[in-house]
Amino acid sequence: MERAPRFVAGIDWSHGLNDVAVIDQGGSTIAHARFAATPAGVRELCALLAGLRASHTHSRRHVPVAIETCEGLLVHALREKGQQVYQIPPNVVAAYRRRVSPAPRKSDRSDAELLALILREGWGWLRPLPDVSSAAASIRILAQAQLRAQVARERVQARLRALLCQAHPAAVDVWAGLDYGLRRREARAVLAAGPTAATAQRLTPYRLSKILAAAGRTRLIDAEAYRLAEAFAVPVLRLPAPVEQAMAVEVRTVLDLFEQACRASDHLTTQLTDAFLDHGTAKIYTSLPGCGLLTGARLLAEIGDDPARFATSKGLRAYAGVAPLTWESGSSRLVTHRRICDRRLKRTAILWAFTSLTRSPGCRTLYDRRRTAGDTYAGALRRVAGRLLSCLHHCLATGQQYDEAAAFSTSTVVPGD
- pLDDT digit string (tens) for 336-368? 888 889 999 999 999 999 999 999 999 999 999
Q: Given this model, what pLDDT does residue 1 score?
A: 52
DSSP bridge pairs for 66: 10, 86
Helix, strand, coil percentages, rounded to 5, for the chain: 60, 10, 30
- Binned at pLDDT 50, 70 and 90, residue 410 comes out as low
Mean pLDDT to the nearest integer, 207-232? 95
Mean pLDDT to the nearest integer, 261-289? 96
Q: Given this model, what pLDDT does residue 180 score?
A: 92
- Residue 391 pLDDT > 90, yes or no? yes
CA–CA separation, 235 vs 213, rounded Å? 27
Q: Given this model, what pLDDT does residue 2 score?
A: 65
Q: Given this model, what pLDDT does residue 402 score?
A: 95
DSSP state of 184: S
3-state DSSP assignment of residue 24: strand
Q: Given this model, what pLDDT does residue 83 score?
A: 92
3-state DSSP assignment of residue 84: coil
Q: Given this model, what pLDDT does residue 411 score?
A: 44
CA–CA separation, 183 vs 328, rounded Å? 49
At position 385, the amino acid (one-letter code) is A
Q: Given this model, what pLDDT does residue 201 score?
A: 93
At position 8, the amino acid (one-letter code) is V
- Binned at pLDDT 50, 70 and 90, residue 417 comes out as low
Q: Collect all residues with Cβ–Cβ distance below 8 Å to 202 and sequence separation of at least 6.
A: 194
- Residue 265 pLDDT > 60, yes or no? yes
Pairing of strands 7-12, 17-24: antiparallel
- Residue 280 pLDDT > 70, yes or no? yes
H-only helix segments in 278-373:
282-287, 293-303, 313-320, 343-356, 361-372
Q: Given this model, what pLDDT does residue 221 score?
A: 95
Mean pLDDT to the nearest integer, 144-162? 96
Mean pLDDT to the nearest integer, 207-221? 95
Q: What is the mean pLDDT of the chain?
A: 91
- Residue 66 pLDDT > 80, yes or no? yes
Report the share of the chain in percent with pLDDT over 70: 97
- pLDDT digit string (tens) for 247-264? 999 999 999 999 999 999
Q: Given this model, what pLDDT does residue 253 score?
A: 96
3-state DSSP assignment of residue 337: strand
- pLDDT digit string (tens) for 15-56? 878 999 999 988 899 999 999 989 999 999 999 999 888 777
Whether the CB-CB separation of 221 and 209 falls below 8 Å is answered with yes
CA–CA separation, 398 vs 400, rounded Å? 5
Whether the CB-CB separation of 31 and 48 falls below 8 Å is answered with yes
Mean pLDDT to the nearest integer, 323-334? 84
CA–CA separation, 86 vs 358, rounded Å? 41
At position 48, the amino acid (one-letter code) is L
- pLDDT digit string (tens) for 298-318? 999 999 999 989 999 999 999
Pairing of strands 65-67, 85-87: parallel
- Binned at pLDDT 50, 70 and 90, residue 124 comes out as confident
Whether the CB-CB separation of 69 and 85 falls below 8 Å is answered with no
305-311, long-range: CB within 8 Å, 24+ apart, which pairs? 305/132, 305/133, 305/135, 305/136, 305/279, 305/280, 305/281, 306/130, 306/131, 306/132, 307/396, 307/397, 308/130, 308/131, 309/130, 309/131, 310/393
Whether the CB-CB separation of 114 and 27 falls below 8 Å is answered with no
Q: Given this model, what pLDDT does residue 326 score?
A: 85
DSSP bridge pairs for 32: 21
CA–CA separation, 96 vs 117, rounded Å? 9
Count of H-run helices and E-run strands, the chain: 18, 7
CA–CA separation, 298 vs 293, rounded Å? 9
DSSP run (H or E) holding 7: strand 7-12
Q: Which range (52-61, 143-152, 234-243) has the least confidence?
A: 52-61
Q: Collect all residues with Cβ–Cβ distance below 8 Å to 159 and sequence separation of at least 6.
A: 254
